[in-house]
């Protein structure tokens, strides 16, 4: 059966999501735990690979499991025992045969938190960027406007190449981008798009913060 799993994770101790021999990754740990539970080797597809230090609350993954060994509740509990608390399975359910976490995704949303005050917060240090220079929230919000819509974001990312040597398109459609003041100097940027380029989010946030400063 094709399985759809929604996971959350703290990426602090992992070298990103994508399985990578020799280093600890979220995808590698998740794949090994699932394979151990269903007792068969498998490949895990994710909606979007994340870099080192990136966390997730609603990362969707898909994989195939033997029908006679597929018990959603048992799978969720067992993987959480093996991977928790850094990785938590929030939901497990059977998906249509053609479902693919990456290709079936209709959009992705990223949140980036900025602690904007003179003194850093040790309890948010692994979740937020500390910027001690005062930021103008009105400027941050105005700077979001040009991001909305379909654009070539090549200025914000590394340009990948296809296996045949041709350059991949970096045109993406941003549907939403906004800043929220959470109080006590904590600002949250949220952006939703059909997809994102490699390291696009951190480049966008870096530019916006420079504008806000």
The pLDDT value given to residue 162:
64
Confidence class for position 123, pLDDT limits 50, 70, 90: very high
The pLDDT value given to residue 34:
96
Dist CA 73 CA 92 (whole Å): 7
Confidence class for position 167, pLDDT limits 50, 70, 90: confident
Confidence class for position 199, pLDDT limits 50, 70, 90: confident
Break the chain down into helix, strand, coil percent, rounded to 5: 25, 30, 45
Mean pLDDT of the 120-128 span: 93
- If we measure between CA atoms, which residue out of 200, 166, 203, 176 comes closest to residue 49? 200
Dist CA 124 CA 122 (whole Å): 5
Least confident of 42-51, 174-183, 189-198: 42-51
193, 174 in Cβ contact below 8 A? yes
Dist CA 128 CA 209 (whole Å): 13
Which residues are annotated as catalytic?
51
Dump pLDDT digits (tens) for 130-162: 999 999 999 999 999 999 999 999 999 877 666
Whether pLDDT at 74 is above 90: yes
- State pTM to two decimals: 0.87
Whether pLDDT at 183 is above 90: yes
């Amino acid at each position: 059966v094709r399985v759809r799993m929604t996971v959350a994770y703290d990426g602090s101790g992992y070298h990103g999501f994508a399985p990578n021999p020799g280093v600890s990754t979220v995808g590698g740990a998740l794949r090994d735990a699932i394979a151990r539970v269903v007792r068969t080797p498998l490949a895990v597809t994710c909606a979007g690979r994340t870099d080192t230090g990136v966390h997730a609350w609603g990362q969707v993954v898909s994989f195939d499991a033997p029908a006679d060994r597929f018990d959603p509740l048992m799978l969720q509990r067992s993987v959480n025992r093996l991977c928790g608390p850094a990785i938590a399975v929030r939901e497990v359910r059977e998906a249509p045969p053609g479902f693919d976490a990456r290709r079936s995704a209709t959009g992705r949303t990223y949140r980036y938190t900025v602690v904007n005050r003179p003194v850093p917060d040790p309890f948010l240090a692994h979740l937020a960027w500390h910027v001690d220079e005062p930021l103008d929230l009105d400027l941050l919000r105005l700077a979001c406007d040009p991001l909305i819509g379909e654009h070539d974001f090549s200025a914000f990312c590394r340009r990948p190449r296809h296996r045949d040597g041709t350059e991949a398109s970096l045109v993406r459609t941003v549907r939403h981008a906004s800043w929220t003041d959470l109080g006590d100097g904590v600002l949250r940027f949220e952006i939703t798009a059909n997809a994102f380029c490699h390291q696009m989010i951190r480049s966008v946030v870096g530019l916006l913060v420079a504008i806000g400063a």
